[in-house]
Structure 1
Amino acid sequence: MSARIRTAALAVAASVALVPAIAPTASAAAKPNLRACYDGNCKITITKKVSFRIDPSFVFTKLTVSFNAGGVRVKSSGPGVSGSSYFSEGSSSTLNGITIVALSLSKKKAVLRLSTQG
């Protein structure tokens, strides 16, 4: 290998070694595992409006959850049926056997627990 090629190769290797690794930022939060809520039992943290499927045995087949600093709105829907509920932090609502509790709530995120046991 000529000295010129070797020097160029070393320069490239050195510049690659100096490039910092790109780390995920704090704002790149993990997506909530909404599939875990299918059976009506899960704990999720959401940062925006979400919709997810639930077991048809609850009559409703889809829940849509939105929030603001004042409360959580849950809309449920299914073939020929719909419902909705609005509640604040520390409160809960039960829709066809699924109890939803707002564990914490802010302008930017909501932590919710869904449970099929009252």
Structure 2
Amino acid sequence: MSATIRTAALAVAASLALVPAVAPAAFAAAKPNLRACYDGNCKITITKKVSFPVDPSFGITRLTLSFKAGRVYVKDSGPGVRGSGYFDEGGSSTMNGILIYALSVSKKKAVLVLTTG
């Protein structure tokens, strides 16, 4: 092997050694912490339809959130209760005392804030 080829090979090997290995999971989107929303107060980023339980003191037991084309869809349910609504980015909807506000909505994700009171 010539000195030029050996030097080039060593340079490539050295540069590869400096690149850290990244696990594929590091690129996966973090799942929203839906448990934090049980009390009606949280900020979540969703990338697909989600459904989670909420405190029954709201008169409902479950919220379902989804989005499409810049619009957020909300459904609530509980014993003998069902409701639904939708709103656009910057808008909000109140479901049995839980205000859901859309900070941003795109084709791939929605950032939502839930709050009570």
Question: TM bucket by the smaller chain?
Answer: 0.7 to 0.9
Q: Shift of residue 21 of structure 1? A: 3.5
Point out where structure 2 has 5 or more consecutive residues left out of the alignment.
1-16
RMSD: 1.6
Q: Tell me the residue number matched to 1:65.
A: 65
Partner of 1:37: 37
- Equivalents in 2 of 1:63, 1:53: separation in Å? 6
Which 4+ residue blocks in structure 1 deviate beyond 6 angstroms? none
Change (3 A) 1:57 1:48: same
Whole-angstrom CA distance in 1 between matches of 2:27 and 2:105: 17
**Secondary structure, counterpart of 1:90 in structure 2:** coil
| Identical amino acids, percent of aligned pairs | 75
Distance 2:69 2:40 in 1: 24
Partner of 2:83: 83
Closer/same/farther in 2, CA of residues 49 and 36 from structure 1, 3 Å limit: same
1:112 maps to what in 2?
Answer: 112
Q: 1:68 Cα deviation (Å)?
A: 1.0
- 1:27, 1:86 → 2: CA distance? 31
**SS in structure 2 at match of 1:39:** coil
Q: TM-score, normalised by structure 2?
A: 0.79
Q: Secondary structure at the match of 1:86?
A: strand
* Matching residue's letter, 2:104: S
Unaligned runs of 5+ in 1: 1-17
Q: Deviations over 1:10-33 (max 9, x none)?
A: xxxxxxxx8x73423665011000
